[in-house]
Amino acid sequence: MILKGNEDLRVVKTIGAIKDSFAALIREKEYERITVKELCERAKINKKTFYHYYETLDALLCEMQTELSAGFLERIQGLCLPEDLAEVNRAFFLYSEEQGAAYEKITCSGTYRAIRDKMISQVNDAGWRGSAPFRRLSGFERKLLMEFINNAVLGAYRQWVESGKALPLEEIVALTNLLVLGGVNGFFKERKA
C-alpha cells in the first residue's frame, strides 16, 4: 500500500514494519525463499493484517519496484536524452547508492531479474519518450540502443558493487560515462549521417 500521507498512524507503522521486514529478508535470502509467514513474524503482525494490505508477496515486490522507479524518475525529471545522459547516469549511481543493500540485491542478483526489467522499462519509457532523436530511430535501433545503455550502465554498477565499491563513486560514474557516452554519441552521430 503506497501511503498518501493522510493515513492513521497505526497504518503507517504497520506498512513501515512490513516494508522494513521485507527489505531485511531480501538482503538475507533469495526472493523465492521468502514466505508471508516469515515476513509476518519479522514484522510482528498476523497474516490477516498482511493480506489486508497486499494480495501476495509479488504485490509487495511490485509496489517496491514502483516506488523505486518513481523515486529515480523524480530525480531525473527535466533532463533530456540523449543530451543529458551523463547526468542521468550520474543520478542513477547516486540514487542507487542512497537506496541500500536490498536495492543492491534487486539490481545485482539474478533472482530479481523480472522486477529489475520492469524498473528498467519504466525508466526507459519515461526517460526517452520525449527524445526527438530517439523517436527518429527505427524500432530495432531503439531496442539496440536501450540494450547497449542498460547493459553497460547496469554492468558497471554491478561490477562496482561486486568489487566492494573499490572506486570512489565519482570515479565509477566518470568511467561509466566515458564508455557509454562514446557509444551513444557515436551512434546518434552516425544515424544523422
Average pLDDT over residues 164-189: 96
Q: What is the pLDDT confidence band of residue 109, given thresholds at 50, 70 and 90?
A: confident
Long-range contacts of 117-123 (CB under 8 A, 24+ apart): 118/62, 118/65, 118/69, 119/65, 119/68, 119/69, 120/150, 120/154, 122/66, 122/69, 122/73, 123/69, 123/72, 123/73
Q: H or E segment at 55?
A: none
CA 169 to chain centre: 18
Mean pLDDT value of segment 174-189: 95
**DSSP states of 139-185:** HHHHHHHHHHHHHHHHHHHHHHHHTTS-S-HHHHHHHHHHHHHHHHH
* Separation in Å, CA 51 to CA 13, 54, 137: 16, 5, 45
- The answer to whether the Cα torsion of 119, 111, 26, 88 is positive or negative is negative
* Residue 5 scores a pLDDT above 70: no
Q: What is the pLDDT of residue 4?
A: 60
pTM: 0.88
How much is the pLDDT for 83?
Answer: 95
Region label for 170, one of left (φ > 0), alpha (ψ between -120 and 50) or beta (otherwise): alpha
pLDDT tier at 8, thresholds 50, 70, 90: confident
Residue 103: pLDDT band (50, 70, 90) is very high
Q: What confidence tier does 71 reach under pLDDT thresholds 50, 70, 90?
A: very high
Query: Looking at per-residue confidence, does 155 or 12 come out higher?
Result: 155
Judge whether 77 and 87 are in contact, CB under 8 Å: no
For the chain, domain boundaries = 9-54, 59-192
Closest by CA to 175, choosing from 156, 148, 150, is 156
H helices present in the chain, as ranges: 9-28, 36-43, 47-53, 57-76, 85-99, 101-108, 113-128, 132-135, 139-162, 169-192
What's the pLDDT band for 3 if we cut at 50, 70, 90? low
- Homologous superfamily (CATH) of 9-54 is Homeodomain-like (1.10.10.60)
